[in-house]
Amino acid sequence: MCGIFFSLSASGTVLPNEETCCLLRARGPDNYHVHNVERKVTNTRSSNEPIAVRLTFVSTVLSMRGDCLVPQPLVDATTQSVLCFNGDAWKIAGEPIQGNDAELIFKLLLQAVNSDSNINSLADSRTSAVQGVLDVISSISGPFAFVFYDAVNSRLFFTRDSLGRRSLLQGVDEAGTFKICSLCDGTSSTHFSEVETDGVYMVDFEHAIFQDDSTSMANAGTPLFAASCIQTLLWDQKQSDRLLRPKNPIPPMNRSTPEAAPPSLNVETIAVKALEQKLRQSLALRIRNVREPPATSLESNVKVAVLFSGGLDCTLLARLSHEILPEDEVIDLLNVAFENPRVAAAAAGKGGAAGSVYENCPDRITGRAAFAELQKVCPGRNWRFVAIDIPYAETVAHRDTVKRLMRPHNTEMDLSIACALYFASRGQGLAYDSRQEGAQPAQYTTSARVLLSGLGADELFAGYSRHGVAFSRNGFEGLIDEINLDVSRLGKRNLGRDNRVIAHWGREARFPFLDEEFVSWVVQLPVWEKCGFGTPSPAEDSPEAGLDSEKKALRLVALRLGMKNVAREKKRAIQFGSRTAKMEKSKVKGTDALT
């Protein structure tokens, strides 16, 4: 995990302001470095002298891969090309990566942009270089966002992976400086938007339209170059042979519908068995060989923790992690509950005990129940349940920071979800060890830098109530449309915001349900092998009896793994389960903009 900042200015070096710099350092506490490039660019609007522009690259690093810290930005001494990389590349062209992923990707990008002596013309060489960069990007499996300056061909590339699992924003500030950053630079959200996940963005300095008067530009806020100079090279989902289109690793959704009633899913269905194996493979990539945490905590050397509500998705990840990690490794289960003054007042009015405000949170109840089932099914593992209790006053004290991190998202629902993720990923609470039954819980902060999240399961396997509504209205076609919509907008709706909030604590969320190979396999399954809508009900005495249709395939995997109670857990949104929603007003909509 890293923090990225880039600026393009004709008025000298432009660095992130102090607030943004502090937030970038929080994302990457292991290293901070600045690199500047000055170059002359052609003014295509007149015959004036070339304009001197300054490219400023800033990286902060949370070192997670390889044997040692690799500072960024990465700079090639020969060409002066530069890479700021934030991500986890698990595979390149299908082959697992050994060592530092950023260094390998930089090496491949440099090979791609250097001219091929066999190409006849300069124009063909420059086109080939662009295609080479796109081919490298297409070969990466894993979450990423990066800024790459190709000094050989005078181009800047920036992008996020096709699912949008890492945050990257772009915008022009009041002074006219073009910026790219892992989070909004400055306190205003009006000038920055998330980089879309529709392709790779490129600025060609040899063909960009630059302004005549850099002094006027700096004073009046005129951008250095026209927005039309940023070319979007769209993902090619059909895997055609057309040039200058990166290949999208996610194929189109399987839109087939059954001619008759499809067979009922059960624990022996081939697709369910394959699902368990595919999920296990995705998870193993993300939790094996995790580096030891920094020796700053005497109380914890835990490497992996789970953002844990006790629901189906996160408990499945915990259960499978048990089979992958050595048995002597502790796995932390981070469970957050909030003091909601409206709920507390209602409970007090009914004679409820004030001390039960956290334990009565829905996610605390399901979390403790799932913790007990994990202990029963996996007795050899030391599970550490971390009860993270957040008083209302503490929520208010941190609210401005959460709002700052989640920008440009700005709704009540964004704030409710972001608050829950912010405090859960901080990882501070009362620890209950499964091997110390009956002991008094102790104050504890997890040392884990890897946090597992179940995000993506609801979108892929029809886990929301609206999926059932879509099926009841328009059958399988309506259900497929709804799933396809959810998968297509993950990056825009969720992942950038979540990345900015979680990374604030120097931790990295990893999403096993959003592995490219896993997602590609799931979207190609017929819809009736993902959920139970439209399938016959199982016999009342069968193990599958009573399972909800939402995410039925995942519920069956839980059954196969011995998690009978978890398999029957209802879906609950994080803001309602942790009680971050509607803290002050009952009549507020999630889509309402924050004041």
Residue numbers annotated as active site: 2
In the numeric block, which tokens belong to residue 284? 């193993």
Of 531, 23, 481, 560, residue with least CA distance to 320 = 560
> How far apart are alpha carbons 9 and 188 in whole angstroms?
19
Q: How far apart are CA 53 and CA 38, in angstroms?
A: 6
Tokens 């989902």 — which residue?
A: 237
For 399, the token pair is 């609210």
Altogether, the residues listed in the chain come to a count of 595
The DSSP code for 474 is H
C-alpha dist (Å) from residue 340 to 70, 368, 389, 393, 586: 43, 20, 11, 10, 11
Measure the CA–CA gap between 567 and 557, rounded to whole angstroms: 8
Separation in Å, CA 228 to CA 172, 208, 408, 530: 14, 9, 22, 42
Give me 291's structure tokens. 């580096």
Q: Is the distance from CB of 186 to CB of 19 less than 8 angstroms?
A: yes
Local structure of 491: helix, strand or coil: helix
Rounded to 5 degrees, what are φ and ψ at 322? -60, -35
SS3 62: coil
- Closest-CA residue to 134 (of 3, 1, 242): 242
**What b/e sequence results for 536-551 when a residue is b if at least 16 CB atoms lie within 10 Å of its CB, and e otherwise?**
eebeeeeebeebbbbb
Helix H or strand E segment including 178 = strand 178-181
Q: Determine the residue type at 497.
A: R
DSSP for 494-553?
IIHHHHHHHGGGT-EEE-GGG-HHHHHHHHHS-GGGTS-TTSPPPPTTSTTTT--STTHH
**Cβ atoms of residues 580 and 395 within 8 Å:** yes
Backbone angles phi, psi at 18, to 5 degrees: -60, -40
Task: Write out the E strands in 269-417.
Answer: 304-307, 331-338, 383-390
CB 109 within 8 A of CB 148: yes
| Residue matched to tokens 């096993």 | 512
